[in-house]
Structure 1
């Protein structure tokens, strides 16, 4: 499928693994020039090596989404290497503080919101001038948790709900300039984040990793009609569509990639 993005510059945050890495691979296959960004240069370089991109089509630069100075430095490196960004995919984030509300302290709330909500705010603040040039695509990764909160990860749920509100507000402001803004909300995807969650659950309960996954599907995600974890490439496929030329009339939308996990329509 020709997405009409050949030669476009795409910046993918959270690009060293999971959804971000698979998104980068799809965009490279469509002829885009891709910049991967995450915290650790060694991990980024390894991720870039696995993509095996043609010369000049892939760059890997670190940045800290909690630091405006770090993001400004990233913008300067990208401008020097490729020119301004046309496509921005924000898929970095953390699980954050977990537990029941009365078990989470102020530091847990602060660290979660700092990364999962203010991180996207800072990213958009930094790169919005690039995207306001007559054609742009911005996709923010939210979560099923944004609209169907769970009692043991309320800070993450609140942050992701904020991401949806951010997306909707941006979509109303900049569409007239040719910038579309949308969100993708995955549920229980096979990523390092959910791997860590299942490993912790299996160790705490003295059960196998696979048993922890099955328990999650049965007890905590009963509406997931497709009874398995999603694959990151299944999320990347939706992101790739949203940044394509063919999605020019899709704006302010939240695409759920969740096997039906959200119980409402």
Structure 2
């Protein structure tokens, strides 16, 4: 399938691994020039080198960016503009689980740290890159939310709230900027294999005195029993939906949220 986005420029945050990297692979195969951005310069540079080897026909650039810092985000946007003339596609895969635990134990600092990363990070990116998309007269923005926005888990209240906010933010922006040729959509994964969920499983394995594989089985049975397919998702399964929403084929999709959750959310709505 041709997505008709050859030679476009895509900025992918959280691009050094997991869903971000899998999305970069799909878009690079479509002839899209890729800017991988992440907090750790070494890891994102290593990921970019792998992409360059696999897809030598497109430009691949690795840039360090901490979305918690507005100046970092502004610097990222300026570097993209200087090198490529501006972005066409913005995909925000960066995020963190943040503080978790009983609601009454979570402090203001816990909440604000999670909000700063998971909600304000997306706000900063959109604010910095929307003018570039407007200048190009064509744009796709995909923000990563979560099943938690629809089916919140009690120990993750800050994360739940932030991901619900991401969906609302995307809908708001879709109403504001569609007249400029920009489309905004969300993807909501559930329990996908990633560095974040691996860290969660390693912590659980240590508590239970077992290994990661057994921790995953326990977690599926006891904490995510509604995942109908009965397994963790794969990054490429989420990336396929993101790639479509980044393409020219989704020209009548705007302000929507796509759940890629293996049936985890019990409600039909």
**Structure-1-length-normalised TM-score:** 0.98
What CA distance in whole angstroms lies between the structure 1 residues aligned with 2:150 and 2:134? 29
Residue 56 of structure 1, CA deviation: 5.6
Task: Report whether the alignment pairs 1:236 with 2:233.
Answer: no
What CA distance in whole angstroms lies between the structure 1 residues aligned with 2:224 and 2:191? 9
Contact 1:11 1:35 (8 Å CA) reproduced: yes
Contact 2:31 2:57 (8 Å CA) reproduced: no
Residue 110 of structure 1, CA deviation: 0.9
- Equivalent residue, structure 2, for 1:128: 130
- Equivalent residue, structure 2, for 1:41: 41
- Equivalent residue, structure 2, for 1:30: 30
Task: Report whether the alignment pairs 1:76 with 2:75.
Answer: no
Q: 2:175 aligns with which of 160, 172, 175?
A: 172
Bigger drift between 189-198 and 77-86 goes to: 77-86
What CA distance in whole angstroms lies between the structure 1 residues aligned with 2:146 and 2:29? 26
Bigger drift between 134-143 and 200-209 goes to: 200-209
What CA distance in whole angstroms lies between the structure 2 residues aligned with 1:79 and 1:54? 22
SS in 1 for 2:35: strand
What CA distance in whole angstroms lies between the structure 2 residues aligned with 1:30 and 1:71? 26
Q: Can you list the C-alpha shifts for 1:166-203, whole angstroms capped at 9, x where unaligned?
A: 01101111112211100000001010000000010111
What CA distance in whole angstroms lies between the structure 1 residues aligned with 2:202 and 2:127? 36
- Equivalent residue, structure 2, for 1:148: 151
Bigger drift between 68-77 and 22-31 goes to: 68-77
Residue 78 of structure 1, CA deviation: 1.0
Residue 149 of structure 1, CA deviation: 0.5
SS in 2 for 1:88: strand
**Structure-2-length-normalised TM-score:** 0.96
What CA distance in whole angstroms lies between the structure 2 residues aligned with 1:207 and 1:103? 27
What CA distance in whole angstroms lies between the structure 2 residues aligned with 1:31 and 1:243? 13
Task: Flag as ranges the 4+ runs of structure 1 deviating above 2 A.
Answer: none
Runs of at least 5 residues in structure 1 that lack an aligned partner in the other structure: none
SS in 2 for 1:184: strand
Residue 207 of structure 1, CA deviation: 2.4
After superposition, residues 1-265 of structure 1 pair within 5 angstroms as 1-51=1-51, 52=53, 53-54=55-56, 57-133=59-135, 134-265=137-268
What CA distance in whole angstroms lies between the structure 1 residues aligned with 2:229 and 2:58? 40
Contact 2:145 2:189 (8 Å CA) reproduced: yes
SS in 2 for 1:162: helix
SS in 1 for 2:154: coil
SS in 2 for 1:153: helix
Residue 204 of structure 1, CA deviation: 0.7
SS in 2 for 1:132: helix
SS in 2 for 1:125: helix
What CA distance in whole angstroms lies between the structure 2 residues aligned with 1:206 and 1:76? 48
Contact 1:68 1:126 (8 Å CA) reproduced: no
What CA distance in whole angstroms lies between the structure 2 residues aligned with 1:209 and 1:63? 30
Bigger drift between 16-25 and 53-62 goes to: 53-62
